[in-house]
Amino acid sequence: MAKFIHISDTKGRDANVLFTGFSKKSKIKYFTPNDEEVQTLRVLKTTLNGSYEKLIKQCGSEPELAKLLISQDPEIDFFQTGLFVNGSTKVFVNSDFQPCITVNLKELVYDVQGLLKEERTPKEMQGNILEEVAIKPSGKLFPKSEVYAKFVFSKKYQLSHVNGLTFDFLYQLSKELDEKKSLMLIGSGEKGVGPLVFQNGGKAYRAFLEGRIKENGYILILHLSNLELKSAITQ
């Protein structure tokens, strides 16, 4: 589904244009030996009352838990086990397995070696692609012949026009980048070097624009990356 993004070009002109992501669906379908198509559904195995965590607390030891499992089948809820699950919400429960009304969240930041570097309060990222101030090109160019070996582009969106004026706007931007054979860093903030967050609570990404031109057509791609191509083994 296409969504809007507020973007400016290298001349400082800005517009709301559409961006679209692509997801590949599997072509393979599975059938029973009787040629009946199968479906995959989420099924309830056991409720929190039948979970290992609750039962081990109740029994005190694994041998006691084993005895209970054999004698009473407490891990099976005969009214609910096997029901289809069509949606759920994440909740926090306390040591008595009751929902917590107040929860304090803390982030523990570890380095590559697994050493605790920092403790901090989590900060929810706010979406910044449709702000009053448009995201803008930073002016920093990365030649295609170099950038492909620097960053991992895990996500891509194609930008598209919504009318004749935005066609011209995006075509010119694509043409400029196509001629330079480079990707341009684009982002939030005054210099256009800040990360992009596509929705509240979403991940932050560095973004790069790539333009391609063929006759009267254009392709303008927003490449997103949160990982550099660095060796983890030598580190």
- Residues from 55 through 74 that contact other proteins (CB under 8 A): none
- 109: which 2 tokens? 């930041």
CB-side neighbour CA atoms (13 Å) of 88: 9
**Sign of the alpha-carbon dihedral angle for 186, 125, 107, 88:** negative
DSSP class of residue 170 equals H
Alpha carbon 138 to chain centroid, angstroms: 24
Taking CB under 8 A as the criterion, the residue among 1, 12, 22, 70 binding other proteins is 22
Residue 102 within binding range of other proteins, rule CB under 8 A: yes
Binding test (CB under 8 A) with other proteins, winner from 19, 153, 198, 205: 153
Among 91, 124, 190, 201, binds other proteins (CB under 8 A): 91
31 binds other proteins (CB under 8 A): yes
According to the binding rule CB under 8 A, does residue 123 interact with other proteins? Answer: no
C-beta closer to other proteins: residue 108 or 190: 108
Are the C-beta atoms of 204 and 197 separated by less than 8 Å?
yes
Site string for other proteins, 181-200 (x = CB under 8 A): --------------------
Should residue 28 be labelled a site residue for other proteins when binding is judged by CB under 8 A? yes
Instruction: With CB under 8 A as the rule, give the number of residues binding other proteins.
Output: 97
From the CB of 136, what's the least distance to other proteins, in Å? 22
Is 7 in contact with 132 (CB distance < 8 Å)? no
| By the rule CB under 8 A, 112 interacts with other proteins | yes
Quick check: 148 binds other proteins (CB under 8 A)?
A: yes
Which residues have a Cβ under 8 Å from the Cβ of 181 and sit 6 or more positions away? 143, 144, 145
**Kind and range of the H or E element at 195?**
none
